[in-house]
Amino acid sequence: PTGTNGPTKRLVQRILRRDITAAGVADLIHGGADPNVGITLNSDGRLHMSVLALAMDTDSRTSCTSPLTARIGEASVILPLWPTRQHHEEIMTALLAGGAHVDGDRGQIVVPIRMAKSSLNLTALNVLLANNVTVRGLGVWPILFCFVSPSPPSLNQRRKRSH
C-alpha cells in the first residue's frame, strides 16, 4: 500500500505470497507493521479490505462467491492457499494478537466476517468467533448454522430406521 512503512509493505507482500509464519507476522508488527492497514485490490476501490481479511484462504475451486474470486476488470484475483489450515489459523491469530481489528475498519468494503462467510472458510470463522467478532446484522447466521448443525441422516440411515 502506498504511504506505508517498510514493515507494513513486507507484511502485506508476504501475506499475499503466503510465505510468512506466525512468528514472522509478530516480528513485523513488533518492527512497526500496521496490522490494520487497508488494502485496495482494484483501481476503483470496490475491494478495500483489511490485512486480516486478505490473510483468509479463498479457494476459487469451491467458493465462487468469494470477493477475491470476483472479476476485477479483466483479471481475477486468486491467491495461493496457506500450506495447512493450522498455518492459516496461526497467521490470523498472530494478526489479531498484534492488534488487527477483528471487525475490520470503517470504509472497508470486505470485512473479515463477510470474507470468511462468502469464502465458506470454517477455519477463519472459528478464529473470528473465538475473538468475539460482531455478527449481528451482517447476515452470517445462516452460514454458521450450516457449519454447526449436524448433518441430516443419509437416505440409507433413514431407511434402516423405518424398518
Instruction: State the SS3 of 77-143.
Output: CCCCCCCCHHHHHHHHHHHHHCCCCCCCCCCCCECHHHHHHHCCCHHHHHHHHHCCCCCCCCCCHHH
How does strand 71-72 pair with strand 75-76? antiparallel
All structural domains of the chain, each given as residue ranges with its CATH number in brackets, are 6-162 (1.25.40.20)
Each residue's pLDDT, cut to its tens digit, for the chain (163 residues) gives 778 999 999 999 999 999 999 999 999 999 999 999 988 876 555 667 889 988 988 755 444 445 554 444 555 667 888 999 999 999 999 999 999 999 887 666 678 888 888 778 889 989 999 998 887 655 555 444 444 444 444 444 444 444 4
